[in-house]
């Protein structure tokens, strides 16, 4: 039986929920590719999450400044604490369903405004403020869209 990936010095995952961990192996023993290398979309079921949907609504790419800041915050701040990981897990459980319901420009505009406020807060190291604003927006969208 082969060694666990933890002891093989394999490639380290740089972003996402498994950031900092060693990439796993496929059944054939090869290191799994990054999602972008494997041809799999970053979108869940063809739908994107809220910040990405708002950025795309504004004509921005998937690697725009706003999304890079939010992802770095998720990976380097939120995912480093238990409460942050729980918050991210909750977001991943509700955001795809909210994204499916986004059919009004006003909803996407509202999310875009929150994205901008949160990015500025993160850049100013006002992390808790960014968390509170984004969390409040998600809860409001969830309540309004699923009454």
Answer whether 2's CB lies under 8 Å from 64's CB.
no
pLDDT reported for residue 145: 81
The answer to whether the CB of 127 falls within 8 A of the CB of 76 is: no
**pLDDT at 52 (0 to 100):** 92
In tens, the pLDDT along 51-87 reads 999 999 999 998 899 999 999 999 999 999 999 999 9
Q: What is the mean pLDDT of residues 34-55?
A: 56
Residue 60 CA to residue 115 CA, distance in Å, equals 13
For the beta carbon of residue 131, count every other beta carbon within 10 angstroms.
Answer: 19
- For the chain, give the mean pLDDT: 80
pLDDT of 126 > 90? The answer is: yes
Distances (CA, A) of 10 to 1, 29, 34, 36: 17, 12, 13, 18
pLDDT on residue 40: 36
pLDDT at 72: 94
The model carries a pTM of: 0.67
């Amino acid at each position: 039986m082969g060694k666990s990936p933890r002891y093989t010095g394999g490639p380290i995952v740089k972003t996402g929920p498994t950031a900092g961990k060693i990439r796993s192996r496929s059944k054939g023993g090869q290191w799994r590719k990054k999602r972008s290398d494997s041809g799999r979309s970053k979108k869940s079921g063809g739908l994107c999450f809220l910040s990405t949907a708002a950025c795309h609504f504004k004509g921005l790419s998937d690697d725009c400044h706003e999304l890079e800041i939010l992802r770095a915050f998720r990976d380097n701040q939120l995912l480093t604490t238990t409460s942050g990981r729980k918050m991210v897990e909750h977001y991943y459980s509700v955001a795809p369903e909210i994204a499916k319901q986004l059919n009004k420009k006003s909803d996407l505009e509202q999310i875009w405004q929150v994205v901008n406020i949160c990015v500025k807060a993160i850049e100013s190291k006002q992390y808790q403020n960014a968390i509170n604003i984004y969390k409040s927006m998600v809860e409001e969208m969830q309540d309004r869209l699923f009454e």
